[in-house]
């Protein structure tokens, strides 16, 4: 386990809710919405395999089912046969994989990964961005405290994931920088670039809400949602967040919590 990181968070009471973070992130991405979610749910927020604090990636071996398998094991250990699942980016993709396995009561996917149109190879450039970003963050990490000490530094550190950033605690931004530096980016990204994405969407029979910020700089709306809209989940409940970035749970936490709770309460 990476120093200073924990493998998961659990709190609250009520129907089970699993919260899954995005690529290079950790479970702490949900901190700004946890209080609201835990008033209504027994919340489990695990860190994914290969991410800082999560289970290690053994021998660099990556498969299409690796991350979903890891979340299933965490759900089993928590006693969750099924759960409502909320996921951001890569976590949204994993949430939908779990729905196809029958483990989800509902899914709220915030800018889920994997939705590029068939034949659209731009996803490889997105994956390459994460490798470049990791190199830059590792170089900046010794100066993290100085970076987050100024508004300009906090804006620079959050520019790709949010449009609203002033409310995000400095210590959480430093944590995320350390999470990026500690993630097994290359083997996970290389696998995705080589194999692409496929979803057994016909097996998803639970309610699905897909939420996308129109100012997303990682997965641009609407092009990176093409297969979700056109092929896999055209009948999902679609929500656009005007001017919001890639991580709504950080960008507009109150609205995000309401979007999750309003859907799980159906």
With pLDDT > 70 as the criterion, what percentage of the chain qualifies?
98
Report the alpha-carbon distance of residue 213 to residue 63 in Å, rounded: 29
Other residues' Cβ atoms within 10 Å of the Cβ of residue 66: 18
Average pLDDT over residues 5-19: 98
Give me the residue label for tokens 């939420």.
211
pLDDT value at residue 2: 45
The number of domains in the chain is 1
Give the CA distances from residue 223 to residues 161, 185, 256, in Å, rounded to whole numbers and listed in that order. Answer: 17, 24, 22
CATH of the domain at 12: 3.40.50.1820
Whether the per-residue pLDDT at 154 is higher than 70: the answer is: yes
**Domain assignment of residue 1, yes or no:** no
Contact 2, 53 (CB under 8 A): yes
Whether the per-residue pLDDT at 60 is higher than 90: the answer is: no
**Domain assignment of residue 2, yes or no:** no
**Domain assignment of residue 3, yes or no:** no
Per-residue pLDDT tens over the stretch 213-238: 999 999 999 999 999 999 999 999 99
Average pLDDT over residues 144-162: 97
DSSP one-letter string for 74-141: HHHHHT-SSEEEEEETHHHHHHHHHHHTT-EEEEEEES-S--PPTT-THHHHHHHHHHHHHHHHHHHG
Whether the per-residue pLDDT at 4 is higher than 90: the answer is: no
Q: Provide the whole-model pTM.
A: 0.97
Report the alpha-carbon distance of residue 218 to residue 242 in Å, rounded: 16
Whether the per-residue pLDDT at 163 is higher than 60: the answer is: yes
Domain that holds residue 31: 8-264
Whether the per-residue pLDDT at 59 is higher than 90: the answer is: no
């Amino acid at each position: 386990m990476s120093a200073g990181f924990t493998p998961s968070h659990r709190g609250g009471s009520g129907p089970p809710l699993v919260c899954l973070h995005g690529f290079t992130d950790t479970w702490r991405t949900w901190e700004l919405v946890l209080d609201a979610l835990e008033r209504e749910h027994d919340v489990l927020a695990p860190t994914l395999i290969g991410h800082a604090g999560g289970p290690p990636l053994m021998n660099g071996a990556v498969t299409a089912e690796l991350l979903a398998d890891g979340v299933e094991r965490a759900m089993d250990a928590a006693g969750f046969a099924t759960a409502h699942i909320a996921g951001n980016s890569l976590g949204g993709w994993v949430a939908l994989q779990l729905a196809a396995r029958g483990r989800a009561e509902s899914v709220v996917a915030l800018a889920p990964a994997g939705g590029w149109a068939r034949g659209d190879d731009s996803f490889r450039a997105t994956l390459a961005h994460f490798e470049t970003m990791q190199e830059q963050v590792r170089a900046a990490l010794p100066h993290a405290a100085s970076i987050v000490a100024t508004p300009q530094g906090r804006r620079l550190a959050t520019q790709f994931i949010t449009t609203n950033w002033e409310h995000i605690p400095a210590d959480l931004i430093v944590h995320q920088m350390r999470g990026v530096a500690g993630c097994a980016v290359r083997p996970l990204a290389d696998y995705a670039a080589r194999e692409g994405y496929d979803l057994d969407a016909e097996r998803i029979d639970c309610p699905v809400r897909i939420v996308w910020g129109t100012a997303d700089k990682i997965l641009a709306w609407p092009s990176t949602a093409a297969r979700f809209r056109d092929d896999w989940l055209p009948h999902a409940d679609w929500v656009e967040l005007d001017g919001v970035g890639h991580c709504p749970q950080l960008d507009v936490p109150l609205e995000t919590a309401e979007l999750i709770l309003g859907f799980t309460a159906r």
